[in-house]
Amino acid sequence: MLKEPITTSVFDLFKIGPGPSSSHTIGPMKAAFDFLQRAKALPESLLTEPLQIKIHLYGSLSATGKGHGTDRAVMAGLLGWLPDTCEPTAFTALLKNTDDTYPISIQAKPITLTAKSIIFERSRYDSPHPNTLVFKLICNGLIISEEEYYSVGGGFIQRKGEEDIRAAANKVPAFPFSTMDELIEQLAKNKLSLTDLMIANEMALTGLTRKEIYQKIDDILETMHKAVKRGLRHKGVLPGSIKLRRKAPVLYEQAKSHASATDSFMVFLNAYCMAASEENAAGNIVVTAPTSGASGVIPGITYLLRNHYHYDKQKLREGMLAAAAVGFLIKHNASISGAEMGCMGEIGSASAMAAAMLAYCAGRSIETVEAAAEIAIEHHLGMTCDPIGGYVQIPCIERNAMGAIKAYNAYLLASSGNTGYQKISLDSVIKVMRATGKDMSKKYKETSQAGLALSATEC
Ligand code: SF4
């Protein structure tokens, strides 16, 4: 094995939390929460009043953090809120007015947080990651504690000097793999289905039972489908200066009224994906799949599979595990972060995961599952991230629908003919993805400084 084995949990990839951006919302909220816990653990003797907290946002967090709600996320974390439990209405109400104040305390010493506590740094900063946050606890004018965090995509964070803050540290998967080739080898050697291998690894990493894992997947699917249902109902304009009108309810009505039309299946799928994605843009609760920006693709596909194909619970659970396997491989060997890979890291990954899910749920071979994921990534290579105004709206919302349609076609293409004739492997295309992401100009990696973002004046 060339690389360390994958030790990510399915539930770190699929996380429940408020939109609109996992790297700009969920990650920063977790970083702020972590900093708060560390500050609370400091010796009381160091905490000389008055106390202050300053948060510096760099790179993509600074460039698009306003539109993505990074300031609200940081504030929420410092208030002790976490993404999966925070109340979306209270979350979206944070920092509504510039003079709003938020009192907190560290070991009974008061601190008042305001919008001014959060600084969107425009200066360059020598950081190993484009999504960097620096937290400082200042006591009587002296910096007592300083922590640097990187929001590395999909809501995952790392603290400077630490590998992965999740630190499932010493846990070892039952059937280690770091590439698709190794995964296929493990399946063959141990005569396992992909479902059983993924479950065994999840049990080893998290200590959960099979039943508990399935229950958690059911909860994830329910949250995804609630977002779809809400989005199909909610009309009106999305938050932000673009004043973008929601489209999912219109598409849904159109699909229902032309249900016998040859393309109605695609209109339904478009409606489902855009519904969840519009809920994300509104800052409501979604599931990272693998990111919040891409949180419409898999919910849309699974909603279609459940309601049109009438797939049962177990089939969907297994499809989610196949999707997770592909998400792990991309996260491990490239990245799922728009700030590192452009949109191919977000929608491209979601599309590949969905393509694998479709193939697996249809009972195809592992080689077809691999080919479906490979084809989906191949046709997202080089896709830039240039959201207008820094809002996860244009091109993001429609892009979720496009990612799902591409996933479906990737599954169809992979399912026809002999997979032995497939020239490009999933491992190869992930390597290409990584190299392309590295070569891509920074302007196209979630900074809103180029591409579509420059057409903002036309909106
Ligand atoms: S363009 Fe893609 S990567 Fe960028 S914010 Fe939108 S969905 Fe995320």
Domains of the chain: 22-159 (3.30.1330.90), 171-458 (no CATH)
Q: Which atom of ligand 1 is nearest to the CA of 343?
A: 3
Give residue 66's pLDDT: 87
Q: Please tell me the residue having the least CA distance from ligand 1 atom 5.
A: 392
Which pair of structure tokens corresponds to residue 201?
Answer: 């690894």
**Distance of alpha carbon 194 from the chain centroid:** 23
Q: Please tell me the residue having the least CA distance from ligand 1 atom 6.
A: 396
For residue 392, the CA-to-ligand 1 centroid distance in Å is: 6
Q: Please tell me the residue having the least CA distance from ligand 1 atom 3.
A: 343
Omega before 50 within 30 of 0, i.e. cis: yes
Give residue 447's pLDDT: 85
For residue 400, the CA-to-ligand 1 centroid distance in Å is: 9
Q: Provide the residue type at 20 as one letter.
A: P
At which residue do the structure tokens 């169809």 appear?
412
For residue 416, the CA-to-ligand 1 centroid distance in Å is: 31
Q: Please tell me the residue having the least CA distance from ligand 1 atom 8.
A: 293
Which pair of structure tokens corresponds to residue 26?
Answer: 């969920």
From residue 127, how far is each of 151, 207, 336, 350 by CA, in Å? 12, 35, 19, 27
Give residue 92's pLDDT: 87
Omega before 128 within 30 of 0, i.e. cis: no
For residue 63, the CA-to-ligand 1 centroid distance in Å is: 14
Give residue 167's pLDDT: 47
Pocket test residue of 280, 330, 385 for ligand 1, highest count of atoms within 8 A of CB: 385
At which residue do the structure tokens 């409606």 appear?
271
Which pair of structure tokens corresponds to residue 312?
Answer: 């049962």
Cα dihedral 237, 239, 243, 247 sign: negative
pTM equals: 0.89
Nearest to 335 by CA among 239, 437, 261: 437
Pocket test residue of 292, 330, 347, 448 for ligand 1, highest count of atoms within 8 A of CB: 347
Q: Directed axis angle between helix 297-307 and helix 396-414, to 10°?
A: 60
Dihedrals φ, ψ of 353, to 5°?
A: -65, -45
Give residue 335's pLDDT: 97
For residue 345, the CA-to-ligand 1 centroid distance in Å is: 9
Q: Tens digit of pLDDT for each residue in 144-172?
A: 999 999 999 889 899 998 865 544 455 79
Q: For the chain, which residues score pLDDT lower than 50?
A: 166-168, 458
Dihedrals φ, ψ of 66, to 5°?
A: -60, -55
For residue 346, the CA-to-ligand 1 centroid distance in Å is: 7
Pocket of ligand 1 (CB under 6 A): 293-294, 338, 343, 346-347, 385, 387, 392, 395-396, 399, 446
Give residue 164's pLDDT: 56
Q: Directed axis angle between helix 70-78 and helix 27-40, to 10°?
A: 30
Contact 180, 352 (CB under 8 A): no
Q: Which atom of ligand 1 is nearest to the CA of 395?
A: 1
